[in-house]
Structure 1
Amino acid sequence: MWRALASNALTILVVGLFLIGGLILWGQSQYKSEGPLETAMCLQVKSGSNMTRVSQQLEDEGAISSAMIFRMGADYTDKAQQLKAGSFLVREGASMAQIIDDITSSGASTCGSEIEYRVGVTRVQTRVRELNPATLEFVEIASFEAGEEETPAEYAEKRQDADTRYRVSVAEGVTSWQVVEALKGIDALTGEVSEVPAEGMLAPDSYELAPGDDRATVLQDMQAKQQLRINAVWESRQDDLPISSPEEMLILASIIEKETGVPHERGQVASVFVNRLEKGMKLQTDPTVIYGVTKGQGVLGRGLRRSELRRATPWNTYVIDGLPPTPIANPGLASLEAAVAPEETNFVFFVADGTGGHAFAETLDEHNRNVAKWREIEAERNSSSN
């Protein structure tokens, strides 16, 4: 009898262990396999929340199949106490394991609201945007330009939201003075800027910010990135170029940047200036004359006067030989690359062609014909606008 009871108990124990093992394997499979979410969503984890609340929220939203398995997985991986506050993108089909990794790792929000400060050549614009989880695209909900008396209510609202992300985007061709002035106007930043960084030494790019970041530190990050680009591009330069140092490369790249915004033209524009330098011709480029007038402090806002084209300044390439003494703006990576790898052409002239690009020429006669065409286009535009 006792033997029978012992045998039955052992059988029950074995079956129980087998069932438990199967349950564990099933739970692990549920935890790691693709989840039920059909459309990406933005999960907001409020400060002071916990895994129990988050797991129930995810189950209610249809992002996970079981809040209990989610919590058990967080406990098993020792992540239950690592929950971060923020707004997190949960992609369609995300597994419980992926979601837990996202909400317990860096704490940086991956969806929700973003405030972007765009530093352009002619204006500084602030945009308030919201990520649409379904399309993974930002939707603008408000914008305003620096200097406006009133800012949108949405901006003030998002500035109070701890989950809001911040970034500053610097366009190619802005001057260092323009960047510094723009940073001074960003109320999310702190600290003073003791001096304007050297012209050309700030990398045009997009930079993540955090409220309270120091302005000088942001500028240091921009300088460090530009220096890395300069070093890498200089190492890749073509042989026999008429520039002898990274500093000259930076100056040439800044001129290329200011002369064209058409990506496929950069190599041709670079070839014109390289050919002129090799022939001992003056560069004769208007952006350098403008820099001699403004020193990079703002936009000229009008055409150049004849007297300014004749006036001797260190940057007036109608007067001086060779390159000016400093860059005239902060060039982007593509212009740096064009400066050391120009296209092989015989072009020594170019002029606007009316389409946003330029007409290039090898001879003065050809160039004069292109100039005449451009003046006809200008005249037609002026007459139609009157």
Structure 2
Amino acid sequence: MWKAVASNALTFFIVFLVIASGLLAWGRKEYSGPGPLADAMCFRVERGATLSSVSRMLESSGVISDARIFRIGADYSGQGSGLKFGSYLLPAQTSMVGVLDIITAGGQSTCGSEVNFRIGIASSDVILRELDAATNRYVEVASFDPAVDALPQPYLDAVEDLDLRYRVTLAEGVTSWQVVEMLRRAEFMEGTVDEVPAEGSLAPDSYDVTRGGDRAALLAVMQERQAKTLAALWADRAPDLPYASPEEALVMASIVEKETGIAEERRQVASVFVNRLRKGMKLQTDPTVIYGVTNGEGILGRGLRQSELRRETPYNTYVIAGLPPGPIANPGRLSIEAALNPDDTPFIFFVADGTGGHAFAVTLEEHNANVAAWRKIEAQRGQEGTTGVQGN
């Protein structure tokens, strides 16, 4: 009898082990294998949410197959108490372990909406975008000019979301005055700016900010980034450049930045000015003259007058020799690279060619022909003014 009891007990124990092993294997497969989510989605973890409530939401949303397995796996891995508030992009068929990694990783949210405050040369705007989880691309919801437009309702609704992300983006070639003036219109930032940073000292780039962030602190970050960029590129500069200091290279970079918006041309444009400096020729470039007229406070909005081209100012490179006393804008990294590593060319002239680029020349005769071609294009377009480097 006892043998039968022992045999039955052993049988039950073996069956139990088999069932337990099967359940464990099934649980591991459910936890580590592809999830049931058919399409990518944005999932929000509320502030103060518990693992239990989040697991139930994930199950009801079709992200995971079993909330209990998710909780057991989270507790076993030690991530159960590491939930991070925010909105997260969950790709289709993400496993439970993948979901857990995403919502406990911390850092910026990977889904939801963002505000991009874009500071441009001619105008600025605020873009409200929302991530389309299906395509993993942002879709514009609203846009407005903070200088002239009232805040649109979609924007007012969006700023109620504490998880809304903010970004400030500087275009290459903006002046420091323009940056400060527009930051003062950024309603989501705080703090005063007592002085306009030195021209050229701000790095055109995109900056993540928080609502209520300090304007002066952001400007300091921009200055630090530009200083690091200039120092690194100065250390890797070409030999025998006609600059006495990194600051002079920054002046040249700002001129290159304002002369061409075509990345492939920057080193050629820089070569023209470097060749002129080496030959003792005046730079004769319109953007410096314009800066002497506007002081960087907005755009001129018209062609230069002959009286302005003849007037002696520290920035009139038709009159003064060498570089102007300071930068005329905030140049981007590519223009600084061009100024410090220009192409090796014989060019000493260039003028617009009507395509957005420039025609380069070695001799005054070649240049005059290029200028004549440009004047015909100007006449056809009804434009006036000069551009590029003129002949002596």
Moved more, 55-64 or 191-200: 55-64
Q: Give the whole-Å Cα distance in 1 for the aligned partners of 2:347 and 2:71.
A: 68
Distance 1:74 1:320, change over 3 A: same
- The gaps in structure 1 that reach 5 residues or longer are none
Structure 1 residue 18 displacement after superposition? 4.5
Contact 2:46 2:85 in 1 (8 A): yes
Unpaired segments of 5 or more residues in structure 2?
A: 384-392
**Contact 1:85–1:107, Cα closer than 8 Å, also in 2:** no
Q: Is the 8 A contact 1:123 1:146 kept in 2?
A: no
CA distance in 1, matches of 2:258, 2:4: 94
1:171 matches 2:171: yes
Q: Is the 8 A contact 1:121 1:174 kept in 2?
A: yes
1:278 CA displacement = 1.1
1:266 corresponds to which letter in structure 2? R
Determine the structure 1 residue equivalent to 2:94: 94
The residue number in structure 2 matching 1:108 is 108
Q: Which residue of 2 aligns with 1:243?
A: 243
1:133-179 Cα distance to aligned partner (Å, 9 max, x none)? 11111111111112224221011111111121110111000011111
> Which residue of structure 1 lines up, in the alignment, with residue 67 of structure 2?
67
- 1:64 to partner: Cα distance: 2.0
Which stretch shows the higher mean deviation, 100-109 or 158-167?
100-109
Name the CA distance, whole Å, in 1 between partners of 2:241 and 2:282. Answer: 17
Q: What CA distance in whole angstroms lies between the structure 1 residues aligned with 2:314 and 2:32?
A: 65
Q: Compared with structure 1, are the counterparts of its residues 23 and 347 closer, same or farther at alpha carbon in structure 2 (3 Å cutoff)?
A: same
Once the 2 structures are TM-superposed, how far is the Cα of residue 305 of structure 1 from its aligned partner?
1.2
1:45 Cα deviation (Å)? 2.3
Letter in 2 for 1:344: D
Q: Within 1, Cα distance between the matches of 2:153 and 2:132?
A: 20
Offset, 1:60: 3.0
For residue 55 of structure 1, report the CA deviation from its aligned partner.
2.3
Q: Distance in 2 between matches of 1:218 and 1:15?
A: 66
Identity of aligned residues (%): 58
Distance 2:33 2:238 in 1: 51
Shift of 1:346: 0.9
Larger deviation, residues 58-67 vs 149-158: 58-67
The residue number in structure 2 matching 1:160 is 160
Q: TM-score, normalised by structure 1?
A: 0.94
> TM-score by structure 2 length?
0.93
Tell me which amino acid in the other structure corresponds to 1:327: P
RMSD: 1.7
Task: Write out per-residue CA displacement over residues 276-332 of structure 1, whole angstroms, 9 at most, x where no aligned residue.
Answer: 111111111111111111111111111111111111121111111111111111111
Deviation of 1:97 (Å): 1.6
Rounded Cα–Cα distance in structure 1 between residues aligned with 2:151 and 2:210: 20
Q: Residues 206-285 of structure 1: matches in 2 within 5 Å? A: 206-285=206-285
* Residue pairs, 1:1-386, within 5 angstroms: 1-106=1-106, 108-382=108-382
Displacement of 1:92? 2.1
Secondary structure of 2:189 counterpart: coil
- Is the CA contact (8 Å cut-off) linking 2:119 and 2:169 kept in structure 1? yes
Cα displacement string for residues 11-37 of structure 1 (whole angstroms, at most 9, x for unaligned residues): 433442343244334323332233233
**Which whole-Å CA distance do the structure 2 matches of 1:173 and 1:305 have between them?**
23
CA contact (8 A) 2:309 2:316 kept: yes
CA distance in 1, matches of 2:20, 2:276: 81
Letter paired with 1:293: V
* Cα distance in 1, alignment partners of residues 20 and 202 from structure 2: 61
Distance (Å, rounded) in 2 between the aligned partners of 1:122 and 1:2: 96
Q: Which moved more, 1:40-49 or 1:328-337?
A: 40-49
- The question of whether the paired residues in 2 share the 8 Å contact of 1:175 and 1:329 is answered with yes
1:57 is aligned with what amino acid? M
